[in-house]
Structure 1
Amino acid sequence: MELSCKCEYAILALLEMAAHYESGEPLQIRQIAAQQNIPDRYLEQLLATLRRGGIVKSQRGSKGGYFLTREPRKITLFEILGCLEGLDVETCKENINPKTVDSSVVEEIWQEASQAANKVLQKYTLQDLCEKRDSRRRLDIMYYI
C-alpha cells in the first residue's frame, strides 16, 4: 500500500489544523499551504473534499478559514483516507465470475493484507500523529543541544 501525494498533503493539512484545534480559530488556506509546503490550489481542492466528507468545516469572511469538525483524537486515518480515496471497511467482494484456484489464492492474500492495513489505519488518529510529531521534535532538539 502506497500513500498517494493527495493523501499525504491532506494529512499534513489536517495535522496543521489539529495543532491549532484548541484555539478554535480557523486557519486560512494560505497559512496551511505555507506551513506545510502544499500548493494553494491543490489544498483548496483537498479541503473541499474533506469538507464534503465531514472532517473539516469552513467559515466565510475576513476571519474565515478551515477547522476540524471534531477533536483530533476522534478522527482516524482510515476515515481520512476513506474520504479521499474511497476506502471501504468491507474489503471482501463476491465476484460473479468463477475464478481459477490460482487467482482465488492471490485474492485471499490481497484481502488479508488490505484488512491488516485497514486495522492499522483505524487504530491511529490525528492526535496520535500530533503526539508522534511532537515527540520527534523534542528528540531533534536534544540532539542539537
Structure 2
Amino acid sequence: MPLISTKGVYGLTAMYELSKHENDTPLQIKEISSNAKIPQNYLEQLLSKLRHAGLVKSIRGAKGGYILADKPENIIVKDILIALEGDLKVIDSKTENPILNMFFSDAKDNTKKIFDLSLTQLDEYQDKYNEVLHYSI
C-alpha cells in the first residue's frame, strides 16, 4: 500500500520544475516532460488534474504552456499530493478497535504535516544535496 503513487511523485516533480522556471513565461509540456523525465502522455493527465485543482494555469497558443497558479511559496506539497492522490492514505479502512482507529487517524494527520512544505521550501533539500556532494573525508 504505497503512500504516494507515481501520480504524486511525477506531479510533485512537475510542479517543482515549474517553480524553478525563472520567468513568467509558460513552460511547454514537452519541456517539463524532458526536464523532469516524465512521460509526456502521463504528464498531460497530471497537469489536467492540477489545473482543475487550481494549482497550475494553462496558456493556449504557440507560446503557450503551463505556469503555476500562485507563487511557489504559496503552493503546499500536501495540496499537490491531495489533488493528485485524492487523499494521503495511511490506511484505507477502519478497524474494529477504536484505539487503533485513533492511532491511524493521528498517523494520517502527522503524515499530512510532514508534507506541509511549500515548493520554495523544497530548495532546502537542494542545499542538503549540495552538502552531501561536497562532503569529503
TM-score range relative to shorter protein? 0.7 to 0.9
Give the TM-score of the pair, scaled to structure 2: 0.85
Q: How does 1:108-119 map to 2 (within 5 A)?
A: 108-119=102-113
TM-superposed CA distance for 1:137, in Å, is 4.9
Q: Following the alignment from structure 2 to structure 1, what is the Cα–Cα distance between the partners of residues 87 and 4?
A: 13
- In structure 1, the partner of 2:12 is 11
Q: Following the alignment from structure 1 to structure 2, what is the Cα–Cα distance between the partners of residues 140 and 39?
A: 29
Q: Following the alignment from structure 2 to structure 1, what is the Cα–Cα distance between the partners of residues 108 and 133?
A: 37
Q: Report the secondary structure of 2:15's partner residue.
A: helix
In the alignment, is the contact (CA less than 8 A) between 1:19 and 1:130 conserved in 2? no
Q: Report the secondary structure of 1:23's partner residue.
A: coil
Aligned residue pairs total 130
- In structure 2, the partner of 1:139 is 131
TM-superposed CA distance for 1:109, in Å, is 0.7
Q: Indicate which of 121, 127, 130 corresponds to 2:123.
A: 130
Where structure 2 has 5 or more consecutive residues not aligned to the other structure, the ranges are: 89-93
Q: Aligned in 2, Cα 1:27/1:113: closer, same or farther, shift over 3 Å?
A: same
TM-superposed CA distance for 1:82, in Å, is 1.7
Give the TM-score of the pair, scaled to structure 1: 0.80
TM-superposed CA distance for 1:3, in Å, is 1.9
Compare the two structures and name the one with the higher helix fraction. 1
TM-superposed CA distance for 1:140, in Å, is 5.5
Where structure 1 has 5 or more consecutive residues not aligned to the other structure, the ranges are: 89-94
- Cα RMSD of the aligned pairs, angstroms, is 2.1
- In structure 1, the partner of 2:43 is 43
Q: Which has the larger radius of gyration?
A: 1
Q: Report the secondary structure of 1:38's partner residue.
A: coil
